[in-house]
Amino acid sequence: MRDSLPPGLGETGANRPLRVAMVSVHTSPLEQPGTGDAGGMNVYVLELSRALARRGAQVEIYTRATTSAQPKVTDAEPGIRVIHVSAGPYEGLDKNDLPGQLCAFAAGVLRAEAHRPEGWYDVLHTHYWLSGQVGWLAAERWDVPLVHTMHTMARVKNASLAPGDAPEPHGRIIGEEQVVAESDVLVANTEQEAADLVRDYRADPGRVRVVQPGVDLDVFSPPPDVDGRDPAERDRRRAAQRAGLRERLALPVDRKIVLFAGRVQLLKGPDVLVRALGERVWEEGDGQPPLLVVLGGASGRPTAVRELEALAYQEGVAAHVLVRPPVPQQVLADYFRAADLVAVPSHSESFGLVAAEAQATGTPVVAAAVGGLRTVVEDGVSGVLVPDHEPESWALVLKSLLDDDALRAGLAVGARASSTRFGWDRAADEILDVYEQARKHHSTRPQPVPR
């Protein structure tokens, strides 16, 4: 853990704490991930803020108010404040409606900061292109370095659309290009994302830094080891341990379980898993597919969950699909531990936080070989990467793993070892270095007109 902040950051006449403004327009870090527009980015913003606060930084997160009941300012945790900005109607707006509210949101951010002494913030860190548009204006107004994390990019998503999914609009691409040009430093989750930024958005390679997100390794941890020198006895105790966990979660004890955790939308690919359950490969052996547990809510279309359940009925596998709402992180970790496999069939992922969290609990992951999942999942070590989204391919891989207890046990060991690569303390240390790099770059820019 870093003992002190980088030279130059957060230093005035007295060595005060680093003050970070974060902007997350379309989704609040306080929302439950797994439904609507809330997902891995919520976890990223909150966990990074926590790690920065542990290092003495003061973090203020600006996000759009979505209900009238939300307080304007919430002291979420020591060192972390969430500011809800009114911009447009509280309800009825999805992500695609928000570009028309960016002016109102930016005005709210500037108004909230205006009562502070000049030079209050040391750095501005924005998340997703909508926030980057707001940050571009605010950073210039406040004369602070702008750091931006894309999380997802329109050109990358459009290159790997799920069948039936709508492409991202050209206006988003233009907005992303502007944010790339104006940011002092761009944070990429993986080397692949960094290459995408340079290739697709003409980003300056010298201003792109790779910082892999972390996993809360205290929450997402393997089940406690069981005693017993005899291997057969240890296996029996482990089975009893898992059975007890499944009983607490109201899951069947005597079935193989494949878990999907995330928003129910075409991009995330839960339909691939439902179709895979309908493949003929399951007729071999005991003649039935595993139970697919879907933890997630509708995203994009309010009928997404009902459509997934209707697809299961059409495929004749409704009895093998169980849909439940998203759950808090501590409960999610128990679901990971209770599953035989976790499946991540996304068509596009900048990182793949679910895969990293599942592996940290010691559960092997079957994932699509796309984006950041190729970094998170070590093929043949912590899980298996599937080269396409064909239901038969997924059925074959899932069945081969579910039929081989020894293979899954070996992957479970690899999953636990692989998870040690990811930690939020390491990520925060690297982000502090990014902030210092951004400060140095910002100092070379033409000075804005004094206000």
Span 324-354, pLDDT tens digits? 999 999 999 999 999 999 999 999 888 889 9
At 33 the pLDDT is 61
At 3 the pLDDT is 43
Residues 281 and 428 in one domain: no
Whether 69 has a pLDDT exceeding 90, the answer reads no
Is 220 a member of any domain? no
For the sheet with 58-64, list strands across it. 73-77, 80-85, 58-64, 19-23, 123-127, 146-149, 185-188, 208-210
Mean pLDDT confidence for 168-193: 95
The verdict on whether residue 272 carries a ligand-binding annotation is no
The verdict on whether residue 39 carries a ligand-binding annotation is yes
Is 327 a member of any domain? yes
The verdict on whether residue 336 carries a ligand-binding annotation is yes
Is 10 a member of any domain? no
CATH number at residue 342: 3.40.50.2000
Query: Which one, of 359, 380, 360, 377, lies nearest residue 369 by Cα?
Result: 377
Is 193 a member of any domain? yes
Residues 308 and 432 in one domain: no
The verdict on whether residue 41 carries a ligand-binding annotation is yes
Residues 275 and 238 in one domain: yes
The verdict on whether residue 405 carries a ligand-binding annotation is no
The verdict on whether residue 40 carries a ligand-binding annotation is yes
Identify the residue with better confidence: 146 or 114.
Answer: 146
**Phi and psi of 159, rounded to 5°?**
-75, -10
Is 9 a member of any domain? no
Whether 364 has a pLDDT exceeding 80, the answer reads yes
Residues 165 and 301 in one domain: no
Residues 171 and 250 in one domain: no
At 449 the pLDDT is 59
The verdict on whether residue 42 carries a ligand-binding annotation is yes
Residues 171 and 269 in one domain: no
Mean pLDDT confidence for 2-17: 53
Is 154 a member of any domain? yes
Query: Which one, of 409, 206, 124, 70, lies nearest residue 197 by Cα?
Result: 206
CA-atom Rg of the chain in angstroms: 23
The verdict on whether residue 263 carries a ligand-binding annotation is yes
What amino acid is encoded at 229 in this protein?
R
Is 6 a member of any domain? no
Residues 70 and 104 in one domain: yes
Residue 40, domain extent: 19-214+424-443
Whether 262 has a pLDDT exceeding 70, the answer reads yes
> What's the CA gap between 106 and 64, in Å, rounded?
10
The verdict on whether residue 357 carries a ligand-binding annotation is yes
At 6 the pLDDT is 45
How many domains are there within the chain?
Answer: 2
Contacts of 374 (CB under 8 A, 6+ apart): 192, 385
pLDDT in tens, 385-429: 999 999 999 999 999 999 999 999 999 999 999 988 888 999 999
Residues 241 and 368 in one domain: yes
The verdict on whether residue 38 carries a ligand-binding annotation is yes
User: What is the residue-averaged pLDDT of the chain?
Assistant: 89
The verdict on whether residue 72 carries a ligand-binding annotation is no
Is 111 a member of any domain? yes
The verdict on whether residue 450 carries a ligand-binding annotation is no
> What's the CA gap between 432 and 303, in Å, rounded?
42
Residues 103 and 209 in one domain: yes
Q: What is the pTM of this model?
A: 0.87
The verdict on whether residue 32 carries a ligand-binding annotation is yes
Residues 371 and 252 in one domain: yes
Residues 407 and 428 in one domain: no
- Residue 54 near residue 428 (C-beta atoms within 8 A): yes
The verdict on whether residue 339 carries a ligand-binding annotation is yes
Residues 51 and 178 in one domain: yes
